Structure formats: C-alpha cells, structure tokens
Chain A
C-alpha cells in the first residue's frame, strides 16, 4: 500500500531485532520496562484478556435469561455475574485499553520519546493490574454470606446500604472497594502523566493549535479523570471506614444517608461515560479523515466541543437519580443540563459527516467500524435524550431500556471504535497488517449481532422488564425478545473470537506493514513499525497539523494554509 517513496523516518535505519534473550530475560524486561510503548501494549493485552472474561460472564447472563424460569445460574451466581461483568468492563477493560492506546500513541503523535514520567507510568500500570487480580481473587478469597459463595454481588454502582457490613458480610465487598480504589489510583497517575506529556513534551513547532486531535482529546479525558475518578476513590475510602472502623457514612440507622452514596457514585459515574467515549471520539478523529482522504473538518470546533463535553459532563450526574426523588427544580435542572450535552456531541457528529462528505472514501475495516460507530452513536444519543426527560425516565428507569441505551454507547460507540483503532494501529504496534478478509467477517458479524441484541433490548424495557432480575414469568411477553437478545449475544461472541484468531494469526502470518500502510498524516507513521525504543532518531519538527502531508507534498503543504 505504501508504495509512494516517502522520506519517512528521517533516515532512521531500522535497527535489526536484537538477539532474543532467554524466556526469563524477556519476561524480566517486560516487567521492569518504563517504555511507554511496552506499557501501552501491556495495558491493551491486559484489557483484552479481561474483555474475554467479562464477555464470558455476559454470555452466562444471556443463557440464564434466554428462557423464563431458567435454572442455569442460581440467583446468587446471577448477581455475581452482572456485578463482575459491569465492574470488569468499566474498570478492567474500558479504562485500561483506552489508557493503553493513550500511552502508546500520545508520545508518538506529539513527537516525543516517552511520557513525561515513565516510572509513574509503570507504577500506574502495575497498580491497575493489581486491581484486576484483587477483584478476581475474590472468587477464591472473598467468602460472602454463608452458603452463597464468593465474589462481589452488589452491582457495579454498589448502592448503600447494601454494601454495609450488616447486609454484605464477609469480604467480597471489600475486594470490590479496594480493587476500585487501586484502579482509581492507577487512573489518576496515568491522567496526570498524559496531561503533563501533552502540554510539556511536544516537539518543536507543535503549538496548541497543531496538536493532533487524539492527544487533545486524551488531555481532556484526563482532566475528567482527575476531577471525577478522585471522588470515587474518596467514597471507597468512606465505604471502607464504614466497614472496618465502624463509621456511619452510609449507615442509615445512625442517620447516615444512602442517597449521598448515590450522589457520590454518579458524580463519578456519569463523567466516567465521557472518560470512556472521548478516546473513542479521538480514534474517530484520526481514522475518519485518513480513510476519507481529507483533513478533519472544523479542527478548532472539535477541540472546543470536546472541552465543553468535559465541563457539561460534570453537571449532569443526577439524571441517574430521577426515580430516587428530587425537587422539581432538580428535575428540571438535570433534564436541561443533560440535553445540553447533545450540542457539543452534535457539533462533533456533523464535523465527522462533513469530513466524509466529498471525500475519496476507502472502506477498509477501520473505516467500516467508524461508519457503524457514527450511526450507533447517534441512536445512543437519541435514546439518551429520551431518558433525560425526567417524566419519561420515571417510567423506564432501571428497566432494560436503560440497559439497551448504555450498551449502545459502550458497545455501539466505544467498543466499535476500539476495534477500529486496533485495526488501524495494529500494523504500527506489531509491524504486520491484520487480515482484511477476517476483518470483514468480524465487522459484519459484530454489526449484525450488535443490532439483534441491543435494538431488541429496548423493547422488553418498554414492556416493563427491570434490569438485574435473574429470571421472569413466561406470561410477561418477554420470552421471544429475550431469546433474540441472547442469540445476538452469541453472534457477537463469535465475531470477537474471529477477531482474537485474526490478532494471533496476523501476528505471525500477516502482511508486512511498513512504516505507513494507510498513507496517513500524523507523526506516529513517520517512524518504523514497530517503532524503535527511542521513537524518533531525530526529534521531529512540525509546521502544521499534518506533518506527514507536508513531507509527502512539499509543493502543497498544509503549513501554507494554517
């Protein structure tokens, strides 16, 4: 593909692969590494492992719900499965995989040799990894109520006072709280690192107006992490004070408030959605222009929209709490503030469409996933606006309509863009292309399975099926719909297994990628694939937002117009 003779890599000789040490030496090297690329790869690999684990848990849930009065899982196990599925997907899949891409890409895209604080980076990764081990160790070590087995079963938002010692005896909730605390510390460390990297490590000439959109959005997302994940860490500390020191923060018998936990949790919980979705936007900002063969439309509007999303996201949390009960002023405020989100997200959507408009579109796998993302994101946004209306919300809160809505965001937008990003940057990370034919299979099965599952899921919600129930009566009219949802789930599982096979297969047998397989424009494609430990032999200098375009087209550089 990259048959243009480019002055790529600034004359860097691709260093021959160093002699492989023994197995133990290789492991040792990965453990002690502070290199942002290796840490990025470890984050991504770690998250993909947990993606399979949490996906497996989702499949168990869907088997149980496929038919009424199913006894495949006990009620206790069912509670554990949806708790572990939710917690794992948010804290051990979503955050790490997005931080992994950030780690790998941000320094490369801004022309730096590493993150601002490489050792803090390693610390953050290992703390997050420890959080995952802690959470899953609870299956062995976290004995709960006698006779009900182990692992947390308080749902991912762990409403008080269920989490108090009286209602959750044993240690399962402790593992949950400590694991989330550890993951939070890791996230805050990485967020500090990303902000410092983006603003302090830029190569020469990369003014704020020339930073590619991905680092810009990662910096914005890191800001949300700082102000939104810290409250979560704080309220885990409160929960542990209650459980271990006899405190009364959420002890309703001593005057403590269960509602305060709900506020504190959603002050984290809603911005968290934007923590996860901003990197997905960031991938779209890089992939859509390259596959439309046009520069991004409305760069400064994109940055402004992202930053305003960050601010608005901090003022909408109580739309998760309409049914808990608020004053009419509270209802109106949170309805309106939630609707406000649609303005900056609308700006982004139209800018992507304008980027595609009139472009010379290449429908390779990354672009396919991006186009599906655009459609699904818009639909997720529309059900979001429906749910933001407090009167409508009273009807549908904690029903499968809500489950369908947030899975539309988390799977339809975020997971789809993560797949797009993996297809797009896999060649950079491994030096080999992912197989395009398998990629198409993966994409189409994923799209079909996704829509069978999550389009259908809105309907049992409208018919009144609450979330987190382990079974239902056959006369409710939910049976066929639930069977369809489960079938769609298995189609997605097959798609993901094809993807896993593709990753492994292409690592050994894939086509050689070369430094710039997509004919792209940002700095990560200016170095070899995979990049050497030092990234760039000579620190790059840029004069526009698309430095590689300038290099490839010296007769018509962007720098003349920006």
Chain B
C-alpha cells in the first residue's frame, strides 16, 4: 500500500467564499424575474383578445420623461456606490438622495398616468383584459419601486443620522443590485407595454 503523508489542506492559501448577500440577492432577482416573466407572458398573450375597448393604442401614451428618470437613477446609484467605497460620505448622501428623488418622480408619473386612464379613458382593472393585464404588470413593477424606495429611504435616514459608514459599502451595494434589477425590469415592461403593445 502506498504510504501517503497526511496533508490537511494548504494553510497558506486564503479561503475565500462568495459573499452571501450578493448570492442571496442574485437568487431573489432570479425568483422575481420568474414572477415578472409570468405577468409579461400574460400581457403579450392577451394583446388584441379583448371583446371591447379601450385598447392600448387608444389609451396609452409613452412615458418618455418618467422612464428616463427611472433608468438614469441606475447611473446615480452607481455614483453613490463609488462614493461610499471611497469613503466620501457627503457625495454618497447626495447621489443617494438624487436616486430616491428620481424614483419618486417615476412613481408620480405612474400615478398621473393611472389617474388619466381611470378618469379620461374609464379603464380600470375590471374593465377588460387590457386593464387587468396592464394594471397588474405595471402595478407589480411599481410595487417593486415602492419597496426599493422604502429601503433606500431607511438607508438615507440612517446616513443623515451618521450611522452609515464606509464599511457598510457592501450592504449598500447589495441594495443597489436590487435597484438595478427594478430598472432593468422597467426596460422590459416599457418595451412590452409601450412599444410592442401599442402597435
């Protein structure tokens, strides 16, 4: 029998593992993507199957301004991430607050759009298939924006109280990952609802 010297691992090599926050957020994003996929499929499947109006073409206007607000917030949150990594807390607070403001602007835009649809076009979730699928899909996305805004506002509040420090950069980045996901989903929803859906 071969004599093999016992070697329990190599102690010189540092043992690094992926960070659990990032892995868990990636998993959450995977699960959320599956949920959005189902609602997107329902939206596309039911396009043009309504027995009566209003149709997407009649009722919807493309929300260019508010969409640009939301998508650009991803850029500002990257600036915030960089700032906290380099310990520039004032810059972090500024960019973080700008991100939140852009998110709120987007939500305001959704509110205006919904009010217009309900009051002008008499479209509610119970009106027809378009109403059902539209309010569900856009509402699902808006509820994710709300969740993101609440979490970011908590971070902002802690930050103004001086409780957020550069060593929290990792947690901030995990939250930012979620925000990037919310923005990316809007690109899909925008394409489906306002580009494909209005043809």
Contact = CB atoms under 8 A, between A and B. Distances in A.
A256 B132 CA distance: 10
A476 interface: no
B27 A195 contact: yes
Contacts of B129: 248-249, 254-256
Interface string B121-158: 00001101100110010000000000000000000000
A238 B39 CA distance: 9
A230 B9 contact: no
B161 interface: no
A233 B42 CA distance: 14
A218 to B, nearest CB: 13
A14 interface: no
A192 B17 CA distance: 16
B57 interface: no
B39 A241 contact: no
B132 A241 contact: yes
A269 to B, nearest CB: 14
A204 B37 contact: no
Nearest to B10: A205
Interface string B9-50: 100000101111001100110111011011100100110011
Contact of A245 (B2, B35, B46, B126): B126
A542 B42 contact: no
A201 B17 contact: yes
Residue in B15, B34, B128 whose Cβ sees the most chain A Cβ within 10 Å = B34
A560 B8 CA distance: 10
A304 interface: no
B195 interface: no
B7 A559 contact: yes
A86 B174 CA distance: 39
A557 interface: yes
Contacts of B39: 234, 238
Question: Chain B, interface size: which category?
Answer: 35 or more
A242 B126 CA distance: 8
Contacts of A188: 31
B6 A554 contact: yes
B30 A200 contact: no
Contacts of A242: 132
The SS class assigned to the A binding surface is: helix
Contacts of A226: 27, 30-31, 34
Contact of A560 (B4, B18, B20): B4
Contact of B38 (A192, A231, A541, A550): A231
A230 B20 contact: no
B32 A204 contact: no
A310 B17 CA distance: 24
B14 to A, nearest CB: 10
Interface string A247-281: 11100001111001000100100000000000000
Contact of B20 (A116, A229, A245, A543): A116
Contacts of A199: 17-18, 23
Residue in A201, A223, A233, A241 whose Cβ sees the most chain B Cβ within 10 Å = A241
B4 A557 contact: yes
Contacts of B128: 248, 254-255
A200 B30 CA distance: 18
A41 interface: no
Contacts of B23: 116, 195-196, 199-200
Contacts of B136: 237-238, 241, 247, 249
Interface in A200-231: 200-202, 204-205, 222-223, 226-231
Contacts of B1: 555-556
A344 B94 CA distance: 53
A541 B6 CA distance: 13
A227 B31 contact: yes
A361 to B, nearest CB: 24
Given A200-B17, A246-B125, A256-B129, A230 B24 contact: no
A117 B15 CA distance: 21
Contact of B8 (A249, A256, A543): A543
Given A196-B24, A226-B30, A556-B1, A249 B133 contact: yes
B51 A191 contact: no
Interface string A546-560: 000010001111011
Given A192-B27, A556-B4, A234 B17 contact: no
A247 B19 contact: no
Contact of B46 (A116, A196, A228, A255): A255
A195 B27 CA distance: 8
Contacts of B132: 241-242, 247-249, 256
A192 B50 CA distance: 39
Nearest to A229: B31
Interface in A516-562: 541-543, 550, 554-557, 559-560
Given A192-B31, A231-B37, A254-B129, A543 B7 contact: yes
B24 A116 contact: yes
A106 to B, nearest CB: 13
Nearest to A246: B126
A386 interface: no
Nearest to A241: B136
B126 A234 contact: no
Contacts of A487: none
B7 A255 contact: no
Contacts of A204: 9, 15
Interface string B91-110: 00000000000000000000
Contacts of B32: 230
Contacts of A260: 42, 45
Given A227-B31, A255-B50, A559-B8, 9 more contacts: A116-B20, A188-B31, A200-B23, A230-B38, A234-B39, A241-B125, A246-B125, A254-B128, A559-B6
5 contacts: A200-B23, A227-B30, A241-B132, A247-B126, A543-B7
The 3 closest A-B pairs by CB, nearest first: A246-B126, A230-B34, A560-B4
Interface of B: 1-4, 6-9, 15, 17-20, 23-24, 27-28, 30-32, 34-35, 37-39, 42, 45-46, 49-51, 125-126, 128-129, 132-133, 136
Interface of A: 116-117, 188, 191-193, 195-197, 199-202, 204-205, 222-223, 226-231, 233-235, 237-238, 241-242, 245-249, 254-257, 260, 264, 267, 541-543, 550, 554-557, 559-560
